[in-house]
Amino acid sequence: MLDFFLRGFRINAIFTFISRISGFVRDMFFAHFLGAGLHSDIFFIATKLPNLFRRITAEGALTSSFLPIYSGLLNSKDKELAYYYSKIIFLILLLSVLIITALIQVFLHEVIILLAPGFLDNKKLLADIVTLSRFTILFLPLISIVALFGAMLNAAGRFTPFAILPIIINLTFICTCLIVSDDLKIKSLPLAISLPIAGLMQMIFIYLCARRYKLVNRNFFKIFYFKTNIFKQLSQKLNSTLKRFFPALITGGIFQINILIDTLLASFLGFGSISFLYYADRLIQLPVGIIGVALGTSLLASLSHPKILNSNKKTSIQLENAIKIGLFFSIPSTLVLMLFPEIIVNSIFKRGNFSNFESNQTVLALYFYSFGLPFLIISKSCQSIFLASGKPKKIMFISIIQLICNIILSLILMQYFNHGGIALATSCATFLGTILYFKLILKEKKLRIGNFQSNNKEGIIYLIKYFFKIVICSFLMIVFLKSVVILFQYFDFEINLLYLVIFTMLGLIFYFFVSHITKIIPMEIFRTSK
């Protein structure tokens, strides 16, 4: 089953990388088309709402409560139960998100005021945001269905379809930016309209994939088509899902409130602050998506398998591998983002309506976000342990502490660093959360990390040694990249995408070379299934 986890990680990492590259291209078009000011702030606020509920319900609470139980049924002797279980959950999900969408449409103006109170005095801006949100909120029911089908495919070991879905939405946005005019009354209106269109395309694609792998059939959407006594057979599983769902829902809500707090506070800092945080966050999300989300998604799917869930030894092995892989990639990524933010931001965003000022402000946010990158990636794997074992309340507890920490530190630090202080507060809260995750894992007496038992310190020492080895290799890479920058300056190379690609490739080659010599590469990532 280790191969199941590693194969899932490799597939998710590869396609997430491709999707994030397409996402960068999308953001380049955003930066060129909208800049980082009034027009972009309006659009990003309008997309906050559907993304908020999507992450709380569909991709958050639903996936974490549904996937472990569905995986158990799918790998049981009676696979028909898995089919009906997924159908019941689908109908409950569909009804819930339709009601939520309708309520939001009714009270949309009030909701937008809560999202961006800093714009309260500008009625025209608020009206524009409401207009855009009428369209963007339609994305919610579509992406909720997509998330459910994606969880079903992941449980079945079919990781590719769900991993490539973001490419669809990114291409839709890119095409929209290419064909629309700059002279629109609300410049970002076509982008808002294209969001539910992209969601519909994603839903059709993921449904066809689920049909192909025989996870659903034509009767799946028939409301009253159920096997006799099926509810009685699944009553225990449904009750277990609800017990997992509500703590996960609260956890997801708290996590998203953290994000909303950033947006809310940034709205008081003037036009552009929301956009600066958005663009910086997009850069952070590249390694988070490729490594952190890929690890967390594959680990949750693997740990949910009965053979893994009931074996502490196998669970520990997979956790150890996830942490090692996370540290191996996150530490050099963090140092590069902290020490070369100007190169990265200018190469990707600095063009069109994205000026020097906007670039510098995005660099500030990126620098402070970078501090929390390793902890954000590692925490994804830690969360999977508790989700798979049916202990979402522990994640909820940590999320509440992170929320309080983020709010307090944001209010303090934004006084000194403006939007950069908000980014730094997020990083500090993430660091605290990861420490607490490790503390709880240490209390799990049957879990091991390396040659570590919970009643001694060998595991911590093991991780610390591994950490410092990676840090040394990463610093050697930084010294090498500093030399590359000096060489590029000598030949007067223009900072552009080609510059960034060459810079990145040289850094990766050197890092892997040094890591190979020092034998710190987690060789498991290259292992092929037998």
Q: pLDDT per residue over 275-323, tens digit each?
A: 888 889 888 988 888 888 778 777 777 776 666 656 667 777 777 778 8
Tell me the pLDDT band of 490, cut-offs 50, 70 and 90.
confident
Tell me the pLDDT band of 447, cut-offs 50, 70 and 90.
low
* CA–CA separation, 447 and 309 (whole Å): 12
Is residue 203 predicted with pLDDT exceeding 80?
yes
Is residue 240 predicted with pLDDT exceeding 90?
no
pLDDT at 183: 61
Read off the pLDDT of residues 112-127 as tens digits, 9 standing for 90 and up: 887 767 666 677 778 8
Read off the pLDDT of residues 503-521 as tens digits, 9 standing for 90 and up: 999 999 999 999 888 888 7
Residue of 113 and 454 predicted with greater confidence: 113
Is residue 49 predicted with pLDDT exceeding 80?
no
pLDDT at 374: 92
pLDDT at 311: 63
Mean pLDDT of 130-135: 89
% of the chain with per-residue pLDDT over 90: 23
* CA–CA separation, 410 and 390 (whole Å): 32
Tell me the pLDDT band of 182, cut-offs 50, 70 and 90.
low
pTM over 0.95: no
Is residue 454 predicted with pLDDT exceeding 60?
no
Read off the pLDDT of residues 210-239 as tens digits, 9 standing for 90 and up: 999 888 888 888 776 776 677 777 888 888
Tell me the pLDDT band of 265, cut-offs 50, 70 and 90.
confident
Tell me the pLDDT band of 331, cut-offs 50, 70 and 90.
very high
Is residue 445 predicted with pLDDT exceeding 60?
no
Q: Which has the minimum average pLDDT: 29-38, 108-117, 459-468, 509-518?
A: 29-38
Q: Which has the minimum average pLDDT: 51-55, 440-444, 451-455?
A: 451-455
pLDDT at 451: 46
Domain boundaries of the chain, sorted by first residue: 2-449, 460-523
The answer to whether 60 and 248 are in contact (CB under 8 A) is yes
* CA–CA separation, 392 and 61 (whole Å): 9
* CA–CA separation, 383 and 400 (whole Å): 14
pLDDT at 482: 94
pLDDT at 455: 44
Tell me the pLDDT band of 129, cut-offs 50, 70 and 90.
confident
Read off the pLDDT of residues 380-394 as tens digits, 9 standing for 90 and up: 888 877 777 767 778
Q: How many helices (H) and strands (E) does the chain have?
A: 21, 0
Mean pLDDT of 440-449: 64
As given in the structure block, the two tokens for residue 107 are 């009270």
pLDDT at 478: 95
* CA–CA separation, 186 and 43 (whole Å): 10
Is residue 40 predicted with pLDDT exceeding 70?
yes
Is residue 453 predicted with pLDDT exceeding 50?
no
Is residue 457 predicted with pLDDT exceeding 90?
no
Tell me the pLDDT band of 60, cut-offs 50, 70 and 90.
low
Mean pLDDT of the chain: 81
**120 C-beta neighbours (distance < 10 Å), count:** 12
As given in the structure block, the two tokens for residue 522 are 């987690």
**310 C-beta neighbours (distance < 10 Å), count:** 9
Per-position DSSP letters for 149-162, written without gaps between them: HHHHHHHTT--HHH
Torsion sign across C-alpha atoms 273, 275, 276, 277: positive
Tell me the pLDDT band of 252, cut-offs 50, 70 and 90.
low
Read off the pLDDT of residues 334-382 as tens digits, 9 standing for 90 and up: 999 999 999 999 888 877 777 788 889 999 999 999 999 999 898 888 8
Residue of 55 and 68 predicted with greater confidence: 68
**Which CA distances in Å does 400 have to 173, 429, 437?**
35, 10, 13
Is residue 409 predicted with pLDDT exceeding 90?
yes
∠ CA 391-397-401, rounded to 5°: 155
Is residue 396 predicted with pLDDT exceeding 90?
no
∠ CA 189-116-169, rounded to 5°: 40
pLDDT at 448: 56
* CA–CA separation, 465 and 520 (whole Å): 11
Tell me the pLDDT band of 530, cut-offs 50, 70 and 90.
very low
Read off the pLDDT of residues 466-483 as tens digits, 9 standing for 90 and up: 888 899 999 999 999 999
